[in-house]
Amino acid sequence: MDTDTSVTELVGQAVAAHREGGEQSYQRFLATVGPLRERDFEEAAEAIRARSGDPQERAAITELLGRLPLAGDKQSCATATDCLRRLLDGEKDECVLQDAVYALAWICDASSLEPLLDLLDYPSDAVREAVATSLASAMAGEEEERGIAALITLSADRSAEVRDWACFALGTLLDCDGDAIREALAARLDDPCDDTRCEAVLGLARRGDERGLQPLRRALDGDSVLTLRVDSADETDDPGAARLRRRIAERWPRRDPARQALHEALRPGRSHTGSPAT
């Protein structure tokens, strides 16, 4: 891309490409990110702030704001977060709100947590779902009490999708432990949403909680075994879990394409993505 292209022109090219839609146009949008990162971030932020027209344009600038800051650069992260927070104030378009939430997650800095917490009670299920999917990233690897409390709240949300993502974040994405987390997961063991129940089982099993094994035993009485239940059985060293793993393997349909994945999951010494908290 021409190094003589001004920041304002680069932002304009990004917005135009994003607006067009389609894979090729999106690649052109992404191609503007590198050159913009090489320019003064404050100048880029100012040019982005000047573009706040229709919802499509606002969706484009929210993604730019999420992608431009470099990981660990506190100043650019704080500036981008401030821009997104201003954009969120008074925003009514749900798609733009969702894009802004995901942009805050991409920033992956503790400064982006506060704007997400402000949307915890937002009326739209889709916006709250975006918050549930983004909180773990916004916590930037830190066991932020407010973020954990927000996920616990969302784990009891009226929307099944929100509960599912919140339980996934609490149970699998985060390694922190505690009574409040375990009780929140245990409260979802009878959730009407199957995915949410499975995330709760996995989260409890990872933490060595006996309540994660009970649903596994009940699951064996059904006609199918979900992958998350297999993962749950493999996340604990409880002697009973070994028997459960064998019984699950016996019941898995021989011609099922997931059978090989199951055997791999049950292989001794298999490494895990997370380990039970101590």
Domain definitions of the chain by residue range: 7-138, 164-265
Per-residue pLDDT at 224 exceeds 90: no
User: What would the pLDDT profile of 59-102 be if each residue is shown by its tens digit?
Assistant: 999 999 999 998 778 899 999 999 999 888 889 999 999 999 99
| Mean pLDDT across the chain | 81
CATH superfamily membership of 7-138: Leucine-rich Repeat Variant (1.25.10.10)
278 pLDDT band, cuts 50/70/90, is: very low
26 touches 17 (CB < 8 A):
yes
Average pLDDT, stretch 229-252? 51
Per-residue pLDDT at 36 exceeds 80: yes
Q: Range with the lowest mean pLDDT among 98-102, 143-147, 179-183, 250-254?
A: 250-254
19 pLDDT band, cuts 50/70/90, is: very high
DSSP-assigned states of every residue in 75-138: HHHHHHHHHHHHHHTT---HHHHHHHHHHHHHH-SGGGHHHHHTTTT-S-HHHHHHHHHHHHHH
What is the number of H-type helices and E-type strands within the chain? 17, 0
pLDDT in the model for residue 276: 34
Interior angle at CA 63, CA 62 and CA 67, nearest 5: 120
